[in-house]
């Protein structure tokens, strides 16, 4: 049973079971693709999520993506796909439905009769918004793209896995085990190369952002802030001893460094970053020996430690 509760009043505003939702609440066992089923369980990827406005719950059931109205309880199919989509999302204002399928991002108008179309065709060994093993497993990234607040642009990561070593993995899920090959960068061997792209839904064109240090590092986190007037990017070197947080102008691609952290041993990647509405940001650092939250101004100057003293902040 899917239950939605109003946090302000404690009142249940939606209670829907399998009879009402049908295939929307299919269990993980219904996913026929063994690898996607394993990823769904390992990374806790639910087959439903909120729409940007909070009025609907999106769901994927293997051959379709739909939504259910939180207040009305009515469900509707938004698009049909030939397989199991991942990273499905609605753009702000519900103009576009996006998801990852066959290693690329596909877009379609919700409810349209036309087929979803990829923003770029993924050549062999390439991934467009589809996370590779390193980013999903080691860096904990859960989405390879992000919509701008206005919904006109899509920031995404392209991964070039060509030349990355392949590692054989045994699939014991099936009655008769099989072997599949996973791109796995061993220490000292080639890593997947990542670059940040901006897709304009109005022109259908892609612009690439040249981020310093990314050629031999990781794009650990990225997203939008300043109401869509800027992007941020966290770039980590391969040794994971240096991280810089950059501000990127989506209009002209100019980059300004906000913060640089160094540690002789290790920098842990996390999600403790919040940009404040009146400027500046809160960021989690380990510079004191504990994981604390610090407040910085818009130029990256530390203003105050918000959680001083012994002990670690679990998350923000």
What is the per-residue pLDDT for 69? 87
Give the C-alpha distances (Å, rounded to integers) separating 36 from 100, 101, 133, 176, 229: 12, 11, 13, 18, 35
Distance in angstroms between the alpha carbons of the first and the last residue of the chain = 29
Question: What is the CATH architecture of 122-269?
Answer: 8 Propeller (2.140)
Residue 259: C-alpha distances to residues 157, 180, 232, 235, 301 (Å): 22, 41, 11, 11, 8
- Residue 17: predicted pLDDT: 63
User: Which pLDDT score, from 0 to 100, does residue 2 have?
Assistant: 74
Which residue from 231, 216, 206, 209 is spatially nearest to 185, judged by alpha carbons? Answer: 216
Which residue from 52, 120, 138 is spatially nearest to 130, judged by alpha carbons? 120
Which contiguous run of DSSP H or E holds residue 256?
strand 255-262
- What Rg do the C-alpha atoms of the chain give, in angstroms? 21
Cβ-based neighbours of 226, under 8 Å, separated by 6 or more: 275
Q: For residue 274, list its beta bridge partners.
A: 282
Q: Are 93 and 80 in contact (CB under 8 A)?
A: no
Looking at the chain, the domain(s) classified CATH 2.140.10.30 span 122-269
- C-alpha to C-alpha distance for 63 and 80, rounded to whole angstroms: 6
Per-residue pLDDT of the chain (316 residues; tens, 9 = 90+): 678 888 889 998 887 765 555 545 455 565 666 666 665 655 544 567 889 988 888 887 667 888 888 888 888 888 888 777 889 999 999 999 999 998 999 999 998 888 899 999 999 999 999 999 899 889 999 999 999 999 999 999 999 999 999 999 888 777 788 888 889 888 889 999 999 999 999 999 999 999 999 988 999 999 999 999 999 999 999 999 999 999 999 999 999 999 999 999 999 999 999 999 989 999 999 988 999 999 999 999 999 999 999 999 988 8
Q: Which pLDDT does position 97 carry in this prediction?
A: 95
* Count of helices and strands (H, E) across the chain: 3, 25
Contacts of 234 (CB under 8 A, 6+ apart): 219, 220, 221, 222, 243, 244, 245, 246, 269, 273
The rounded distance, in Å, linking the Cα atoms of 183 and 164 is 6
Angle at CA 107, nearest 5°, toward 191 and 206?
55
Query: 24 — phi, psi (to 5°)?
Result: -65, -25
């Amino acid at each position: 049973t899917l239950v939605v509760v109003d946090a302000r009043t404690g009142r249940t505003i939606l209670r829907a079971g399998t009879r009402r939702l049908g295939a929307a609440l299919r269990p993980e066992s219904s996913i026929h693709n063994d690898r996607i089923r394993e990823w769904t369980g390992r990374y806790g990827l639910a087959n439903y999520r909120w729409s940007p406005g909070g009025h609907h719950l999106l769901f994927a059931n293997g051959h379709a993506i739909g939504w259910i109205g939180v207040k009305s309880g009515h469900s509707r199919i938004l698009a049909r796909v030939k397989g199991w989509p991942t990273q499905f999302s609605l753009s702000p204002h519900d103009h576009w439905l996006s998801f990852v399928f066959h290693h690329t991002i596909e877009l379609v108008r919700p409810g349209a009769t036309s087929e979803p179309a990829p923003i770029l065709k993924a050549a062999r060994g390439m991934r467009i918004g589809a996370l590779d093993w390193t980013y999903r497993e080691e860096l904990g990234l859960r989405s390879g793209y992000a919509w701008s607040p206005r919904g006109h642009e899509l920031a995404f990561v392209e991964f070039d896995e060509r030349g990355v070593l392949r590692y054989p993995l045994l699939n014991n899920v099936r009655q008769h085990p099989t072997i599949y090959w996973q791109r796995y960068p061993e220490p000292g061997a080639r890593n997947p190369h990542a670059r940040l792209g901006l897709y304009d839904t109005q022109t259908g064109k892609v612009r690439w952002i040249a981020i310093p240090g990314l050629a031999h590092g990781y794009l650990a986190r990225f997203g939008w802030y300043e109401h869509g007037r800027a992007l941020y990017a966290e770039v980590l070197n391969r040794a994971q001893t240096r991280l810089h947080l950059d501000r990127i102008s989506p209009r002209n691609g100019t980059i300004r460094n906000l913060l640089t952290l160094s540690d002789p041993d290790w920098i842990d990647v996390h999600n403790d970053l919040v940009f404040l509405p009146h400027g500046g940001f809160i960021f989690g650092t380990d510079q004191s020996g504990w994981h604390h939250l610090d407040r910085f101004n818009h130029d990256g100057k530390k203003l105050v430690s918000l959680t001083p003293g012994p002990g670690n902040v679990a998350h923000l």
